[in-house]
Amino acid sequence: MPAARESLLEAAGAALAARPWPDVRMVEVAAAAGVSRQTLYNEFGDKAGLGRAMVRRETEWYLAGVDRALAGPAGSAERLLALADWIVGAARAHPLLRALLTGCWAPELPAPVPRPGPGELARAVCERAAAALAPGGATPQRCELVVRLALSYVIVPGKGDQWEDPESWRPMTPTITRVIETIFRVETRSPRNTMP
């Protein structure tokens, strides 16, 4: 049944690209995949199961792209640049991936899943980069720096970026607020009691 599963995930992805997840109907996904609705339910259980499978598939696709960006005969710097380009470009084109990378789930996407979290994905990418560029390549710290810089651009796009609009930031507001509140709750050991 792998062909049916893949067809169903493709159909669900196309449906999600056309309308918000709450408006995606299982019967339409099954029809678009050319299978019965019962096959869809047998494969995924329910709509939440289909959403989880879409998230897993998006994660696998992203990590395969990371591996492709890191492969090849180019030097370490060029491969790290390719990695950063891949992260930003993929997130720009895929709202579900952007949610995975940032932890900011908009209501028009399938329900968030606890794993993998943004930190786990970032760590996996850093480990893959360090392994691909070792020995004699970039240090793990440089790999982490590149990944963090790329992710910062995903979270806060540059001026003139095509997805810079006020509505796109609404799902991020609670996360950013929590980060700021955490920063202000941190007690510092500085003599002036200021952040170092």
Predicted confidence (pLDDT) per residue in 44-103, tens digit = 999 999 999 999 999 999 999 999 999 978 888 888 888 988 999 999 889 999 999 998
Task: Examine residue 58 and state whether it is found in any structural domain, yes or no.
Answer: yes
Q: Is residue 56 located within the same domain as residue 152?
A: yes
Using the CB atoms, write b or e for 2-35: b if 16+ within 10 Å.
eebbebbbebbbebbeeeebeebebebbbeebeb
Give ∠ CA 70-118-49 in degrees, rounded to 5.
105
Which two structure tokens, joined as six digits, stand for 23? Answer: 């408006």
Which two structure tokens, joined as six digits, stand for 6? Answer: 């893949």
- pLDDT of 184 reads 46
Q: Is residue 134 located within the same domain as residue 154?
A: yes
- pLDDT of 165 reads 44
Q: Is residue 39 located within the same domain as residue 128?
A: no
Which two structure tokens, joined as six digits, stand for 93? Answer: 């084109």
Cα-based distances in Å from 75 to 68, 69, 78, 131? 14, 12, 5, 14
- Comparing 162 with 6, which gets the higher pLDDT? 6
- pLDDT of 54 reads 95
Task: Examine residue 115 and state whether it is found in any structural domain, yes or no.
Answer: yes
Question: Which tens digit of pLDDT belongs to each residue from 1-25?
Answer: 478 899 999 999 999 999 999 999 9
- The mean per-residue pLDDT over the stretch 108-130 comes to 89
Overall domain count for the chain: 2
Q: Is residue 135 located within the same domain as residue 39?
A: no
Question: Which tens digit of pLDDT belongs to each residue from 123-157?
Answer: 999 999 999 988 777 788 888 888 988 898 888 76
Domain residues for 119? Answer: 51-162
Q: Is residue 111 located within the same domain as residue 16?
A: no
Task: Examine residue 190 and state whether it is found in any structural domain, yes or no.
Answer: no
Predicted confidence band of residue 194 (pLDDT cuts 50, 70, 90): very low
Predicted confidence band of residue 172 (pLDDT cuts 50, 70, 90): very low
- pLDDT of 149 reads 86
Q: Is residue 89 located within the same domain as residue 134?
A: yes
The conformation of residue 105, written as its DSSP 8-state character, comes to -
Neighbours of 131 (CB within 10 A): 12
Q: Is residue 153 located within the same domain as residue 57?
A: yes
Task: Examine residue 112 and state whether it is found in any structural domain, yes or no.
Answer: yes
Task: Examine residue 183 and state whether it is found in any structural domain, yes or no.
Answer: no
**How many whole angstroms separate alpha carbon 30 and alpha carbon 4?**
10
Task: Examine residue 63 and state whether it is found in any structural domain, yes or no.
Answer: yes
- pLDDT of 55 reads 94
Quickly tell me which residue has 């259980």 as its tokens: 45
Instruction: Provide the CATH number for the domain around residue 34.
Output: 1.10.10
Q: Is residue 72 located within the same domain as residue 152?
A: yes
